[in-house]
Amino acid sequence: MNLSNKKPFIAGNWKLNKKIPDAVFLATQIKKAVRKERDAEIVIMPPFTALSDVKKVLSHTSILLGAQDTFWEESGAYTGEISPSMIKDTGCDFVIVGHSERRRYFGDTDEKVNKKIKAALSAGLFPIMCIGETLEERENNETMSKVKKQLREGLKGIDKDLFSKVILAYEPIWAIGTGRTASPEQAEDVHGFIREQLTKMVGKDTSSCVIMLYGGSVKPKNTFSLIKEKNINGALVGGASLEASSFVEIINEAKKAYKEKQK
């Protein structure tokens, strides 16, 4: 599969929500609205337990599937863990790595994130790597240094040819689940900075292909203004992806923003 940032990329992170019947119901509702979407890439990310059932719902559609985390080892005595190839086995193409909730509650460090990204890439998954600052770091003017560190350490040792398979999600922690969104200018400032850092790491040709998402209280009403920004290629949506109507509205707003950008 080839990814491109020539169309918006909208991913719904369902987090710890939806048992199998509810997940199947939500996926079916989304499918009814966007069965064959050509002008946007759409990914839904149910909890592990619902992946296989949701995959069945998505057959014959353009909607793609992702998981919310992975372990880095392939197999072995690691009770409770799930490997990238097991995730691939359920029909997923994507996996979130380093979400701030994993970093905060489950001890995911930049080093662990790096191992997970490498393992995901080796299994043929596209990792969605999340980075972002706390409110305190923003107030202390440490946003860029934090993001730079997460970027450098998370992507350390990854072959330049694989960079375009990594999707980045800038998610300011103070904006996640709080109803407080970064303004389009604040978000674009950081996205532009990330693109610059990527250029330093792997050159302009590669960095310009990387898909960069914004995440943190994305709703239908703020999607257009965020995605209209030059370096914002889509959104990682939490709360608003749990209802088909708001998720589908976000997809439509993102398509409008892309049309506007390409004028």
Among 177, 180, 200, 260, binds ligand PGA (CB under 6 A): 177
* Helix (H) / strand (E) containing 44: strand 41-45
For residue 180 the two structure tokens come to 């407080």
Helices marked H in the chain: 20-33, 51-58, 84-89, 100-105, 110-122, 135-139, 143-154, 184-202, 204-207, 220-227, 244-261
Q: Is 94 left (phi over 0), alpha (psi -120 to 50) or beta?
A: beta
Task: Select the span of 48-56, 110-118, 200-208, 214-222 touching ligand PGA (CB under 6 A).
Answer: 214-222
Q: Is 236 in the site for ligand PGA (CB under 6 A)?
A: yes
Of the listed 171, 188, 229, 253, which one is catalytic? Answer: 171
Q: Please say which residue, 211 or 237, places its beta carbon nearer to ligand PGA.
A: 237
Q: How far is the CB of 247 from ligand PGA (least distance, A)?
A: 11
Cα separation of 244 and 154, whole Å?
32
3-class SS of residue 66: strand
**Residue placing its CB nearer to ligand PGA in the complex, 8 or 215:** 215
Which residues, in sequence order, are CB contacts of 237 under 8 Å at separation 6+?
Answer: 10, 11, 12, 13, 215, 218, 247, 250
Size of the site for ligand PGA (CB under 6 A): 13
Cβ proximity to ligand PGA, 50 vs 240, nearer residue:
240
**Among residues 215, 224, 231, 233, which is the contact residue for ligand PGA, using CB under 6 A?**
215
Q: Is 99 a catalytic residue?
A: yes
For residues 157-176, which are near ligand PGA according to CB under 6 A? 171, 176
d(CA 92, CA 58): 11
**Annotation says 249 is catalytic:** no
Q: Which residues are CB-neighbours of 63 under 8 A, at least 6 positions away? A: 27, 30, 31, 34, 35, 37, 42, 43, 44
Does 217 help bind ligand PGA (rule: CB under 6 A)? yes
Residue 216 interacts with ligand PGA (CB under 6 A)? yes
The span of 23-31, 34-42, 80-88, 231-239 binding ligand PGA (CB under 6 A) equals: 231-239
Residues marked active site are found at 99, 171
Residues that bind ligand PGA (CB under 6 A): 13, 171, 176-177, 215-218, 236-240
